[in-house]
Chains A and B, each alone.
Chain A
Amino acid sequence: MDYFDTLIVILQSTIRVSVPLILAALAGLYSERAGIFDIGLEGKMLAAAFAGGAAASVAGSALVGLAAAILVSVCLALVHGFASITQRGNQIVSGVAINFIALGATVILGQAWFRQGGRTPQLGEGERFTTVELPFAAELADIPVLGSIYSNLLSGHFLLTYLAFALVPFTWWVLYRTRFGLRLRAVGENPGAVDTAGISVIWLRYRAVICCGILCGIAGAYLSMAMTAGFVKGMTAGKGFIALAALIFAKWKPVNVMFACLLFGFLDAMSIRMQGNPLPFIGAVPVQFMQALPYMLTVILLAGFIGKAIPPRAGGVPYVKER
C-alpha cells in the first residue's frame, strides 16, 4: 500500500501542476489554430498572475482577482492581436516583447505598490480560491483503491482545476461542432478561403486572440490565487513555454493537449518528489536532471517519435489580400 499511496500523491500533484499548463496550452490552441502564433503565453500568464494577486489582496475578493487577471491578459492579447493582425507585424517579435514587458512590469509595479520585493501580499481566507470536496469524499475514503482514488485523487481540488479539465472537451466541441470552430480552423489554414466566403478574417482572428487572453488569464489566476497565495516574481517559471511545447507535441488537438500537459505535469511532480530521494536501481539523480526532463523529452519526441507536427498552414503569416 505504501507504493500505492506514493503514486496517489504523485498523481495528485501531477494534476495540480498540470492545470496551468492545460489552460495555457488551450489558450495557445485557440490562437494558433486561427493562424496567430503566440509565444507570449508566458508573459500573459505572468501578468495575469500579478493582476490577480494584486487585485484580490486590495479588494479582498478572489472573484475580483480573477476578473482582473482575465482583463489584463486579454488586454495583452489584444496588443499582440493589434501588432500581428492589424499591423501585420512579426508574431514572434510581438510575443517576445509581451514576455519581456510582463517580466519587468510585474516586478516594478509590485515593488511600487506593495513594497515587498516584487511580491504581492499574502492572500488570506476569501481572497484566494479554496479547494472543494466532492460529495461523499470522506465517506468513501475507506474503500480500498477506488475510494482512495476518488477522495484523494479526484476530490479536493480547486474549482478552476475542474474547469480546466472541463474546458478540454468543451474546446473540442467548439472546434469541431460549431460554426465558430469551423471558421477558426479555416482561417488558420487558408485565410483566403475565409475571406472569399464573405467572412471577416480580421474580426475572426481577434476573437481567437481574445479567447487566448481569457484562458491565459485563468491560468495566471490559478498560479497566484489557487496554487499559492500571492504573486511571486517570475512565478510562471517557463510554464508558458512548456505549454507551447505541449501544444506542438499534441499537434494542436485539444484532447492530445490534455494528455501532453499531464505528461509534462507528471514529470514535474516526479522531479519534486525525487528531490533527495534516490531512485531504485539508479541511485541519486540530480534534481536538475529531473527538472530538465520535460524539455529534453520535448526535443526528443519532436525530433522523431511523434512524426511531423504540421502547424496550421497560415500560422505566423499576416493576411494580405492578393493583388
Chain B
Amino acid sequence: MSETAIELKGIDKRFGLVHANKNINLSVRKGTIHGIIGENGAGKSTLMSILYGFYQADSGDIFVDGKKTVIRDPNTAIAAGIGMVHQHFMLVENFTVLENVMLGVEDSQILTAGIAKARQELKRLEHEYELEVDPDAIIEELPVGLQQRVEILKALYRGAEILILDEPTGVLTPAEADHLFRILEQLKAQGKTILLITHKLREIMAVTDEVSVMRRGEMVATRTTAETSVEELAELMVGRRVLLRVDKGPASPGEVLFSVENLTVRDSRGVDMVKDVSFELRAGEIVGIAGVAGNGQSELLQAITGIRRAVRGKVLLQGEPIHVTGKADAAELRQRGLAHVPEDRQHMGLVLKFDESENSILGYHWDPKYLNGVFLNIEAIRKDAAAKIEKYDIRPPNPRLKTANFSGGNQQKIVLAREMERDPAVLIIGQPTRGVDVGAIEFIHKRIIEMRDAGKAVLLVSVELDEIRSLSDRVLVMFDGRIVGERSPETGEGELGLLMAGVEDVREAAE
C-alpha cells in the first residue's frame, strides 16, 4: 500500500499578482483518503484544478502512478484516471442522471447503443459501491445529496481511480455527510485513492488517513491523521494558536425584546417557505436557528427585518408591532433598534464598489452626525470609520479603500461593526462566518457573545451546526419552513442532525 498514486513536485501558479500556489510538493499514497485543509483562499482549489487540468501550472511536474504525466485539460486527467467532484456540481440540471453520466463519453455519434450500455454500466456501479440513483430521474428534482452521488458516479463511470472531492459536505445535512463518508470508505476499500478538500477540521479527523495543510499558497505540513489533533491542524492552518472553543458564561435572559407569532412567508413562486413560525428572543440570550440551507431560514430573516412581505403573522419589537404583512421597512426598523447582518454580505450587506467608510455608515447615513446640512460630512464619516476599523481590527486599516478589496472576513467585520456599534436592542445575524477564515471567526464569535452579555437579544441563523451549538443558549431547528424542535445547545449532534433532516420523532429514530 505504499505506492504513490499522485505526486506533485514544485507546482507553482500565479494569477496576475496573486501567487496562488507556491512551489507545492505533495505525495498521496494509493488506496488512502488524503485530506487537504486550509482557509479560504489558501490555494487548495487552485491546486486541485491544476491536477484536474482546468488550469496549467506555471512550473512543476505531476506524477500519476509514478509516471510523469502532463495534464493539459480535463480529458487528459480523465484518461490518467483522475475524477473530480466539484464544489458546485457540474451537472446539467434538466438532464436525466443517465444523460449527465454519459456526457462526454457517449461512445458513438448516435446515442441509442451508448444509452443501453451506460444504463448497464451504471447499474453495475450502483451495485458495487451502493450508490443507488434512478437513472431516469431529472437532476433538478433530486435532493443535493443524490446530485452529489451522480457526480461521484460520473467520475467512476469514466474509470476514475483517483477521486478529488472539493468541499463536498458544504451542502449536505450531517446525516448525508455521514453517508458520503461511508461511500468514501467503501471506495477506499475497493482500492480507490481519494483526495478530500475541506476547511472543516472535524471531517478531516473523521475520515482521512493523512492530511496536508495549506496556508497562503504554501503546503505547510503533512501529518498522519491518527497522530495529529484538531488543535495542531488549526494552528497550522492559521499560523498561530486559535481558540476553537468559544468561551462564554451562562446566559441570564431578561425580558422579551422580540417575538414572532404564527409567521407565514411565501416566496416569489408562491410557495410557503415559512410556515406558522413562532418564537421569542429575550434580552441577554442568543437563540440559534439550525437547519440545512433552503428550509426557510432566508425568508424568515427577510420577513422579520422588513425586506420581504409576510402573508400572516404578528411580530413585536420591544412590545411595539412590526407590520410584517404590510409596510414594514428596513430603514424604520433600524431606527427602532433592530440591527440586521444579512446572510449574503456581498449582495445585501455591502456595496462592494463603495469605499469602506461609505459602507460603514450605509443605512445610517441619515444620522445628523454624518451630515453637514444636506451634504455628507465626509471627514466625520472617515473618522467614524477609522474608529470602527481600530475596534474591529479590520485590515487593511484604510477607510478609503474600495470594499471589494477587503477579504471575506474583513468585509464581514465591516458589516458587524456598522450594525453592532449602533447599540441595537435586537441583533439578527445570518451566516456570520460564511466564507470567513478561522482567525476572523474567533473574533466574530467573541463579539457576538459580548453583545449578548451587554443585554441584547441575538438571533443567529447559520447552516454551520458547530457554530450554532457553540454560540447559542437555545437552539431552534428549522425544517421545511417550520420550527420542528427546540433543544439545548448541549444536545447531541446526531439528534439535531435528524431534526434538521425532518425526522420528527427523534428519540424513536435514534434507537
Contacts and interface: CB of A to CB of B under 8 A. Distances in A.
A34 to B, nearest CB: 13
A195 interface: yes
Contacts of A177: 110-112
A180 B114 CA distance: 13
A15 B502 CA distance: 57
A182 B93 contact: no
A186 B92 contact: yes
Contacts of B110: 177-179
Most buried by B among A179, A186, A195: A179
Contacts of A194: 103-104
A77 to B, nearest CB: 23
B90 interface: yes
Interface in A264-313: 313
Most buried by B among A189, A195, A198: A198
B41 to A, nearest CB: 11
Contacts of A189: 92-95
Given A190-B91, A313-B93, A321-B54, A198 B104 contact: yes
A183 interface: yes
A190 B93 contact: yes
A198 B86 CA distance: 14
Interface residues of A, number: 22
Interface in B46-81: 46, 52, 54-55, 73-75, 77-78
B210 interface: no
Interface residues of B, number: 33
Nearest to A322: B88
Contact of B90 (A178, A183, A196, A313): A196
Interface string A195-219: 1111100000000000000000000
B372 interface: no
Given A196-B86, A198-B74, A186 B103 contact: yes
Interface in B110-140: 110-112, 114
Contacts of B73: 198
Given A190-B90, A196-B90, A198-B78, A179 B108 contact: yes
Nearest to A321: B54
Nearest to A186: B92
A289 B414 CA distance: 60
B394 interface: no
A196 B151 CA distance: 11
Contacts of B86: 192, 196
A199 B104 contact: yes
A196 B74 contact: yes
Given A182-B102, A183-B103, A198 B93 contact: no
Contacts of B93: 189-190, 313
A186 B96 CA distance: 11
A194 B104 CA distance: 7
B198 interface: no
A245 B114 CA distance: 35
Contact of A182 (B46, B74, B77, B111): B111
Contact of A179 (B46, B55, B111): B111
Contacts of A321: 54-55
19 contacts: A177-B112, A179-B106, A179-B111, A180-B109, A182-B99, A186-B99, A189-B92, A193-B91, A193-B100, A194-B104, A196-B90, A197-B90, A197-B103, A197-B104, A198-B73, A198-B74, A198-B77, A313-B93, A321-B55
Interface of B: 15, 46, 52, 54-55, 73-75, 77-78, 84, 86, 88, 90-95, 99-100, 102-106, 108-112, 114, 154
